[in-house]
Amino acid sequence: MAVPLFDPAAPLAPLDAELRAAVSGVLDAKQYILGPNVTAFEEEFAALHGVPHAVGVANGTEAITIALRALGVGPGDEVVVPSFTFYASAEAIPPTGATPVFCDIDPETYLVTADAVKAVLTPKTKAVVVVHLFGNVAPVDEIAALGVPVVEDAAQATGSKTTDGRLTGALGTIGTFSFYPSKNLGCFGDGGAITTSDDALAERVRSLRFHGSRDKVTYEEVGYNSRLDELQAAVLRVQLPHLHAWCDRRRQVGSWYVEAGLGEHVDLPVPAVGADPAWNLYVIGHDRADALHTALTDAGIGARSYYRQPVHEQVAMTPWRTDAPLSGTARAAARHLALPMGPALTRAQVDEVVAAVADARLD
């Protein structure tokens, strides 16, 4: 039986009637922009994270740009970002006028570390974009202790937390989320949010998402048209009460992979110290990752290498390319491969994936 890499529709099937009712409700209310569902979702998302403020925005990429702008990042500033991440983590920086400065990662956790950030800090560093890649939880406390504001890119880590129960997006100065359909909390299109405990930052984010205006008649700074829309907010409100259960299922699937002996064949993803990841992608390491990918595809098992070419080597990043060797990045880029993950995956499917990996006989 084929096992898909992910299947965002499967966990939503039991909520079908509720989702349709929520969409109908918006059509009936005929209020599509910054209406009651956006306000309610912002309150519910903030409460879930134990922070006073959540602000809905159009997507997870603009969430990062707006978070940086709210922090005062602009021309002449540097923003540190890992190179092993989805391209958008870095792409969001140049629109602020600042320079992206690429740092390395730990190839075991796929995460940026305090040492990696420290190695590239300069007096011009105005912020660090810390990515909770694949749902793992980066060491925000250690990085914040370096004395620079932390923007948490939690796009892949909605519902991930520390072992002492703090959710990603509530660990740093400001957190950014994506609700792209394949994320841990996905809507029916594009959507995003920004979380913070800082009242002034939240107010600036609210202004920036609406053209740099607080009252919608006077414009204080050049901003963005970047709002979460009412339909997406209504859909997200139906799903939000299920987020923790879905994330626990992602954790369970991760433990099944371990129990089923996947670690005998490949390098398993390693939770960072103090992390309780809700895996968005289950990413293993292998010296012959592409050969394994081919073998799994032949066996009907979904697999994918997301970041073979790290961000600092992408053509668009040429102006900011680093000469410093990023050895952890190079290793992860060459060896990573995502295996099936999601809240609807069964133990039988996990066993099937592990059997197919064993059958590939690449060890």
Ligand X SMILES: *Cc1c(COP(=O)(O)O)cnc(C)c1O
| For ligand X, the closer CB: 135 or 343 | 135
Distance, CA of 79 to CA of 5 (rounded, Å): 33
Tell me 258's DSSP state. Answer: H
Minimum gap (Å) between residue 191 Cβ and ligand X: 7
Query: Using the rule CB under 6 A, is 160 a contact of ligand X?
Result: no
Query: Using the rule CB under 6 A, is 91 a contact of ligand X?
Result: no
Part of the chain binding ligand X (CB under 6 A), chosen from 32-40, 153-161, 198-206, 238-246 = 153-161
Minimum gap (Å) between residue 60 Cβ and ligand X: 3
| For ligand X, the closer CB: 85 or 349 | 85
Query: Using the rule CB under 6 A, is 86 a contact of ligand X?
Result: yes
Minimum gap (Å) between residue 190 Cβ and ligand X: 6
| For ligand X, the closer CB: 149 or 192 | 192
Distance, CA of 191 to CA of 202 (rounded, Å): 18
Distances (CA, A) of 57 to 89, 240, 351: 16, 17, 39
Minimum gap (Å) between residue 189 Cβ and ligand X: 10
Distances (CA, A) of 325 to 102, 161, 310, 312: 10, 31, 12, 11
Query: Using the rule CB under 6 A, is 210 a contact of ligand X?
Result: no
Structure tokens at 308: 């073979």
CA geometry: angle at 29 spanning 191 and 236, to 5°? 25
Which residue of this chain has its Cβ atom nearest to ligand X in the complex? Answer: 60
What does residue 131 show for φ and ψ, rounded to 5 degrees?
Answer: -100, 125
Q: How much of the chain is in helix, strand and coil states, percent to nearest 5?
A: 40, 15, 40
Query: Using the rule CB under 6 A, is 84 a contact of ligand X?
Result: no
Instruction: Choose which of 38, 67, 81, 88 interacts with ligand X (CB under 6 A).
Output: 88
Distance, CA of 93 to CA of 79 (rounded, Å): 7
Can you give the three-state secondary structure of 9-53, one letter per residue?
Answer: CHHHHHHHHHHHHHHHHHHHHCCCECCHHHHHHHHHHHHHHCCCE
Distances (CA, A) of 38 to 32, 48, 63: 9, 15, 16
Instruction: Map residues 108-147 to x or -, x wherever contact with ligand X holds by CB under 6 A.
Output: -----------------------x----------------
Instruction: Map residues 170-209 to x or -, x wherever contact with ligand X holds by CB under 6 A.
Output: --------x-x---------x-x-----------------
Query: Using the rule CB under 6 A, is 153 a contact of ligand X?
Result: yes
Instruction: Map residues 42-71 to x or -, x wherever contact with ligand X holds by CB under 6 A.
Output: -----------------xxx----------
Interaction site with ligand X (CB under 6 A): 59-61, 85-86, 88-89, 131, 153, 155-156, 178, 180, 190, 192
